[in-house]
Structure formats: C-alpha cells, structure tokens
Amino acid sequence: MSDDGRIETRCIHGGQQHEPTTGAVMQPVFQTSTYAQPWPAKHTGYEYARTQNPTREALERCIASLEGATEAVCFGSGLAATSTVIQALGSGAKVVCGDDLYGGTYRVFTRVFAKFGVEFSFVDLANADLEEAIPEDTDLVWLESPTNPLLKITDIRKVAERAKQVGATLAVDNTFATPVFQRPLELGADLVVHSTTKYLNGHSDVVGGVVATADPAWAEQLRFLQNAVGAVPGPWDTWLTLRGLKTLAVRMERHQANARRVVEWLENNPKVTRIHYPFREEDPGYAIASSQMSGFGGMVSFVLDCTLEQAEKFCASTKVFTLAESLGGVESLLELPASMTHASVPPEIREELGLADGLIRLSCGIEHADDLIADLEQALAAALQ
C-alpha cells in the first residue's frame, strides 16, 4: 500500500498489505515464539519472536507512515519506549527535560536512570531562554508538547533549532496530540515517542509504546536495544493497537469536538479558577499551538476553587466519566494528578509547577457531549454543595 495518502487513509492502509499466503485483508496475529529454519543459522527473515514478529512489524510500519518516519520501533509500554531512548545515551549523558512531565517519566528519570550517571535538568521550555536552558554539552532534549497535565505548549521548531546548534537529539512525546494533529518530525524533532496505550490504541485494552524516527543511526540503535533488552509487546497487544489505529482519525475529531464543548461549559462556571486547553485564545500557548498543530484531542485540565478533599469527592462522584488513570480511550476518564498520576512528584515540586490540589485532568471520550457536561454538573453539585 502506498503511504502517499492523507492521514485518514494511512490510519487504515499505511504500511499494510494483504497477507500474502491467504490474502487475508486484516493482519493476522502471529502467535509464535520461534520460527523453523531450513538450515542452521539460515532463516526466512524470522528466527525468534523477540527479534521479529510480523504482527509487530505491521504496527511499526503503520505508525512510521503516520509520523512521517522511516522506522518505528514498538515496546511493551510507553515507559519502555522512554527508557530505551535513555539507555541509548549511556552513563554521563546530559538530558534537558520540560518541567511538566508525565509522573512516570519523571520517576524513571530521577529514581532509575539518575543512579546510572545520567544527568537530568528540568526547565520550563515553553518560556525559557533556550540558549541558557539547553547548554552546549546537552545530549538529549526531552519534550512534551502539550505537556501532562498542564497542557503547556512549547515551540518545537525553536527547540529543534537549538538542539541542532549544540548537537543534541530532540525527542518529543506526542501522545496527547497524536500524528493526526501534530507531527514533530516535520517540525525538526529527531525522535517521536508515544504511549500507544492511549489514543493510538484508543480502547483502554492494551499497554504499549513506540519510538519513531527518520534518523538511520537512531533507528539502528533502537532496533538493537529492542532485541537486546527485550521490552517488546506481544502479538495480541500489537494487533489490538493496529486495529485501534484504523479509527484514530475519526476518533480524534470526536474527542476534540467533545473537549471544546466541555471547555465552553467550564468557562461559564464560577467554581473553575483556571482552564488549561491550548486551543482557547486566552491560553498562553494558543499562538504556537495554532502554528504547529492542526487541532487538539480530548485532553482538558482545570482547577476547581476547592480543597483536596472536595476535589477527591468531585472525582469520585462522576457517573459517565470514570475515575481512572490513563487517557485517550473512547470512554471519558478523569483523574486528580496530586493523588494519582503525579503522586510520585514531591509536593513542594508539584506546588512549584502549578499542580494544584484542585487540578482535575479530563480525557473526554466520544460519548454525547451533553451527557458529559451533565455528569460534570452533578458531580460538582455533589462535591461543593
């Protein structure tokens, strides 16, 4: 299948072909751990499933097509994908990170890789002087845009320019935007990372991760580590993700439409003191978001004027929104970062970063928008009456 089509077409056909033996239209699940060899050390291109699996390769080709990459390398989780990028650097590497990161990323950087001599600095890349923030000895810049959970927007083009000036690699976590709305490689990034658990799969029934690149040296290193370290997804996980990708474009449009309706409701609620959503004209990231993104998905964060206990009651009172970690599924989810996804971030750092006790993160699903708004209204009444 040609990868020249528009992204809606590539979600379904990108990197895909009918299975050659049977003509099966859908990619089969190759549930095998090893492959027969006609002669010792001579095989047909497949020898062991950690190294090669046709189902996984189909998913990798499709994601590479969507991101405009030459290679995509899949892993058993988003954190496995993240960890593999850091493993490629080695001890003594210097990494500049955005200051608003997924809590699991912050944890693995500071509590795992820091022990092995990797140096991490955390900077507000959305507002920093990039010459100061990214010094000459930087090896990697790790960026989320939009960030988790404050949805801050960083100018990827400018960060990419600075990274190239100092010879650093730029990795962008594109989980929130997806390639439907943002393609970081086209903006100058070297690596694009996803938790495929989220929007790419879209159905909350699988865990996975991927790194995509157009850099041959990085592709070779990632492939080596994928096999050598072995944090690979199983064939059923990759098949489910591949199936989910086929509806990615239509799902993202509905996620976006529902989020905008919810934001309109939040704007008119006196109990809401702040809204984080980059496609509001009032949002500090609006101008940059509009220049590097074609839209936004279902993520909305907002701050309630309430105590931590009231925020917890609000989250526990919804009926359509499910109180759960993760995001990007067809069902709407909400969570309280202070108690959940960012509980591993020390309280004093959460306060410094603006992660208030009343900060709520929504992942708006594809239900009817009126039902989502009614659910938030009744939960607010229950928590703040």
Query: How large is the angle between the packed helices 248-267 and 369-384, nearest 10 degrees?
Result: 40
Quote the tokens at residue 112: 């795992």
Of the residues 35, 50, 261, 305, only one is catalytic, namely 50
Location of structure tokens 């190294």: 51
Q: Is the dihedral of CA 188, 363, 290, 266 positive or negative?
A: negative
| Residue 173 annotated to the active site | yes
Q: Which one-letter DSSP state was computed for residue 233?
A: P
CA atoms of 311 and 319, how far apart (whole Å): 15
Helix (H) or strand (E) holding 267: helix 248-267
Report whether 202 contacts 328 (CB < 8 A): yes
Cis-peptide, bond into residue 146, ω within 30° of zero: yes
- Which residues are CB-contacts of 217 (< 8 A; sequence separation ≥ 6)? none
Of the residues 173, 190, 283, 375, only one is catalytic, namely 173
Residue 142's nearest CA partner among 186, 99, 80, 79 is 99
Of the residues 61, 102, 190, 251, only one is catalytic, namely 102
- Computed over its alpha carbons, how large is the radius of gyration of the chain? 21
Of the residues 152, 198, 280, 350, only one is catalytic, namely 198
Residue 96's nearest CA partner among 52, 63, 129, 72 is 129
CA atoms of 380 and 210, how far apart (whole Å): 37
Max CA distance (Å), the chain: 75
Report whether 59 contacts 69 (CB < 8 A): no
CA angle 16, 65, 183 (to 5 degrees): 155
CA angle 164, 352, 355 (to 5 degrees): 95
Task: Say if strands 333-335 and 119-123 run parallel, antiparallel, or are unpaired.
Answer: unpaired
| Residue 50 annotated to the active site | yes
Phi-psi region of 326 (alpha: psi -120 to 50; beta: other; left: phi over 0): left
Phi, psi of 195 (to 5 degrees): -85, 105
Give the strand order in the sheet containing 333-335: 272-276, 299-304, 359-363, 333-335, 322-323
Positions annotated as catalytic residues are 50, 102, 173, 198
